[in-house]
Amino acid sequence: MASGRLDGKVALVTGGSRGIGRAIAVALAAEGAAVVVNWVADQAAAREVVAMIQDGGGRALALKADVSAADDVAALFETTAARFGPLDILVNNAGLARYGPIGEYDEADFDRLFAVNVKGTFLTCREASRRLADGGTIVNITSTVTRVMLPRYGVYAATKAAVEQLTRVLSQELGARQITVNAVAPGPTDTVLFRRGKTEAQVAAMAQGAALGRLGLPEDIADVVVFLATPAARWISGQCLPVNGGFA
Ligand SMILES: NC(=O)c1ccc[n+]([C@@H]2O[C@H](COP(=O)([O-])OP(=O)(O)OC[C@H]3O[C@@H](n4cnc5c(N)ncnc54)[C@H](OP(=O)(O)O)[C@@H]3O)[C@@H](O)[C@H]2O)c1
């Protein structure tokens, strides 16, 4: 593999088995990072990502962990360190989305969304606070829906708003170690999560909401995450960057 901007770095991508996380894992590896591809349900998909990276000459490993379970997260970080050495880059991408009016929203769905999206990010950030190499990077994937008032997105948007505040505070707590902590907030991006439960007409309408007139692709998000992990972004911390083609 040709030399890349992340040669010698070790990265962990939660939910790296498909969608945006898959594109992030592949893009980090293409820049030379050794990448842990975390998954929880779809082992075959995670293995496919690892094989794709290895076929390109990169280093990768698939590790199962439910990010909402503290023991799983501890084991995930332990195995990452044992196999690849100290972690430099954490991307908190694993997430769930379920939509519905707040007045009708199911309590179990509320708990599950907060468990995966918020507690999951908290647990990995807590581990990373203890283990991340000085000069490392954390990127949390949030969502553009924290900036708009989309009916039916209330609970999902609330989980992402919580992650954005964790991001800002953690950047202050880890800054002395030259660790940057940022959030990337995608707009509508063409993945399983985005398309589930939507008609083609609804998908097309969301695509037209972007100034650039199309859905985002996972690679559109991955390129920005890679940038935040490179030395070129060393002076960016505590920020939440909308990556949405001008979605309003
Ligand atoms: N797509 C969009 O339009 C959009 C827009 C804004 C923000 N986002 C955010 O971007 C992130 C990725 O979204 P996506 O569209 O790529 O979703 P996706 O296609 O549904 O992929 C979700 C990934 O998260 C993993 N995952 C789910 N629950 C997990 C858990 N408890 N522990 C570990 N991994 C878990 C899944 O693993 P398995 O395959 O093993 O289940 C999968 O790899 C999410 O945080 C989402 O909220 C997406």
- Secondary structure (H, E, C), 32-80: CCEEEEEECCCHHHHHHHHHHHHHCCCCEEEEECCCCCHHHHHHHHHHH
**130 CA to centre of ligand 1 in angstroms:** 25
Query: For ligand 1, what atom is nearest to the CA of residue 221?
Result: 10
Q: What is the CA radius of gyration of the chain?
A: 17
**217 CA to centre of ligand 1 in angstroms:** 14
**92 CA to centre of ligand 1 in angstroms:** 10
What residue ranges line ligand 1, CB within 6 angstroms?
A: 14-15, 17-21, 38-42, 45, 66-68, 93-97, 116, 141, 143, 186, 188-189, 191-194
Query: For ligand 1, what atom is nearest to the CA of residue 45?
Result: 39
Among 160, 191, 220, 224, name the best residue to mutate to test ligand 1's pocket (greatest count of ligand atoms within 8 A of Cβ). Answer: 191
Distance CA 181, CA 212 (A): 28
Among 12, 40, 119, 202, name the best residue to mutate to test ligand 1's pocket (greatest count of ligand atoms within 8 A of Cβ). Answer: 40
**32 CA to centre of ligand 1 in angstroms:** 24
**pLDDT string in tens for the chain (248-residue length):** 568 999 999 999 999 999 999 999 999 999 999 999 999 999 999 999 999 999 999 999 999 999 999 999 999 999 999 999 999 999 999 999 999 999 999 999 999 999 999 999 999 999 999 999 999 999 999 999 999 999 999 999 999 999 999 999 999 999 999 999 999 999 999 999 999 999 999 999 999 999 999 999 999 999 999 999 999 999 999 999 999 999 98
**95 CA to centre of ligand 1 in angstroms:** 4
Q: Which residues of 209-245 are buried (b: 16+ CB within 10 A; e: fewer)?
A: bbeeeebbebebbbebbbbbbeeebeeebebbbbbbb
**176 CA to centre of ligand 1 in angstroms:** 31
99 part of the active site: no
- What sign for the dihedral angle of Cα 225, 110, 153, 201? positive
Among 36, 73, 76, 93, name the best residue to mutate to test ligand 1's pocket (greatest count of ligand atoms within 8 A of Cβ). Answer: 93
Query: For ligand 1, what atom is nearest to the CA of residue 20?
Result: 16
Task: Kindly report the protein residue whose alpha carbon is nearest to atom 25 of ligand 1.
Answer: 15
DSSP letter (8 states) at residue 238: S
Nearest partner of 169 among 198, 190, 140, judged by Cα: 140
Q: For the chain, list the domains and their CATH numbers.
A: 10-240 (3.40.50.720)
- What pairs with residue 114 in β-bridges? none
Q: Is 125 helix (H, G, I), strand (E, B) or coil?
A: helix
The pTM of the full predicted model, rounded to 2 decimals, is: 0.98
Cα–Cα distances in Å, from 132 out to 17, 88, 195?
A: 22, 6, 34
